[in-house]
Structure 1
Amino acid sequence: MKCFLSRLALFCLLCIPCTAFAQDIRTEQVHFAAGASGTTIRDQIVGYESVSYIVGAEAGQKMTVALAPSNLATYFNVYAPGSGPGGQAIANSGMTGAGVPDLNRFEAALPASGNYTISVYMMRAAARRGERSDFTLDIAITGATGEVVQGDYADGLAGGPDFYAVKTSGSGLNLRAEPSAGAALVTLLANGTNLRNLGCRMAEGRRWCRVATLADPGYEGWAAGEFLIEGSGDASASALPLSNADMPSAADQACLQAVTAETGNPDVVLLSSSYSEAGTEVIVGVGPQQARWQCIAYSDGSTTRPMSLTDEGAL
């Protein structure tokens, strides 16, 4: 009996997720391509490394997560909004049960709106030996969202400021007709523009907020929530949306939209545009480092598939 208990204790110790001992926890924000309900991630961890993938979803939607690792000591935990590694998980992919029909597969209706964390790690014994795991992680969010509620805000879709201000690394923020990186462009909002918050929701793995400008001319549409900070209701302090003269041309807008859809990142800025009869070459900067992407736009409104001009294609 004592031998059995000793072996049981050893087994339990070996099965402790390495997240409790992790020396290197990397965090990645997950965004889906425009119009997509999921994505596939290819990544790796070594030893005590773990990765926390953050994805936005709404209460009642269904989340499906499937992990295919090269090292069978690799698992993942799912954490509800407001929790993460070190806190209580709503599912552990190493133990079948509610929400986990098979090892390394999670399927469940979500209990709350907000950002969920999927933490991929290796068991302590494998981590201690410095083993490596190459894996693919499939994440999908399906099911319709509810009606947008007036007064529903960006931080977790509950509570928060009545007004926002634009803050991006580029020249402005795209205001779109729908909560999607592929939706039509309404206008480009300059940094510092004060906006009224009309309600937020999750789509394509990220938070989108329906906003309206305070100064004339008035614009209303959807903006990516990660580029909004608390603002004020003082219209005189608002930076006006960029003028029509500053607005990108139809070719520029087509490529800005194509790059946004390709990268899943709405933080894009027009760097240069060169017209020719063969097509307009547009260079777009993406993300805080304004990683350069190239796109060719044609007179019929079509574009080539955007191509990264950097070694890493950084977003």
Structure 2
Amino acid sequence: MNRRYLLGTLPLLAAAPVLAQQLPAIRTLSVTPGAGGTNVTGSLADTKARGLYYVPGQAGQTMNVSVASPGNTVVFQVWEPGTGVRTNADGTLALNGKPMRDAGPSEEPAAWIGALPKTGPYLLIVYSRREAASYTLTVSVTGS
């Protein structure tokens, strides 16, 4: 009886990995305050692809982020420390946190400067609005 039960669950267990989508790697950028910034190059395969980066920041510092891409199709978002990120079954990101003012999902900036309200890793999400694209992301932090 136990054997039949176990065999009956195998198709369900085998289907589980198909439903789950792997979260893209989140890379931590090393940004030295006042040192002129860090440049990162990357590419996005399509409009569903995301580049994810953590940038350490201290409350009271100012962060400057910009992204350059052919055709200016790549934009980004900046999220406060503590933002939870996971992948939905369809591969889209699900975020649980607070976007930075003027750098959230409805703004889609290509350049942003903002004061950091908290200490911790800020999440940057880079994506293309129209097509596959390459990009250069520039991040700097100033202040104490």
Q: Which has the larger radius of gyration?
A: 1
* TM-score for the superposition, normalised by structure 2: 0.66
Contact 2:81 2:123 in 1 (8 A): yes
Listed one character per residue, the Cα deviations across residues 9-57 of structure 1 (whole Å, up to 9, x for unaligned) are xxxxxxxxxxxxx976231110136983521111111112101111111
Q: Summarize the Cα distance change of 1:72–1:35 in structure 2 as closer, same or farther, 3 Å threshold.
A: closer
Over the matched positions of the two proteins, sequence identity in percent amounts to 28
Cα distance between partner residues in 1 of 2:22 and 2:73: 18
SS of the residue 2:67 aligns to: strand
Q: Partners of 2:141 and 2:105 in 1: how far apart?
A: 17
**Alpha carbons of structure 1 residues 108 and 44: separation in structure 2 relative to 1, 3 Å:** same
**Quick one: which of 112, 115, 133 aligns to 2:118?**
112
Secondary structure at 1:92 match in 2: coil
For residue 75 of structure 1, report the CA deviation from its aligned partner: 1.2
Q: Report the TM-score when normalising by structure 1.
A: 0.32
Q: Output the CA distance in 2 between the equivalents of 1:105 and 1:35.
A: 18
Q: Kindly provide the CA deviation profile for residues 255-285 of structure 1, in whole angstroms up to 9, marking residues without a partner as x.
A: xxxxxxxxxxxxxxxxxxxxxxxxxxxxxxx
**Alpha-carbon distance, 1:132 to partner:** 1.5
| Higher relative contact order, structure no. (Cα contacts within 8 Å, ≥ 6 residues apart) | 2
RMSD: 2.6
The structure 1 segments of at least 4 consecutive aligned residues displaced by more than 3 Å after TM superposition are: 32-35
Query: Contact 1:40/1:137 (CA < 8 Å) preserved in 2?
Result: yes
Aligned to 2:107: 95
Summarize the alignment of residues 1-315 of structure 1 with structure 2, pairs less than 5 Å apart. 25-32=24-31, 36-47=35-46, 48-85=48-85, 86-87=95-96, 88-90=98-100, 91-92=103-104, 95=107, 103-123=109-129, 126=130, 131-144=131-144
Count residues with an aligned counterpart.
Answer: 111
Give the counterpart letter for 1:39 in structure 2: T
Listed as ranges, the gaps of 5+ residues in structure 1 are 1-21, 97-102, 145-315
**Unaligned stretches of 5+ residues in structure 2:** 1-20, 86-94
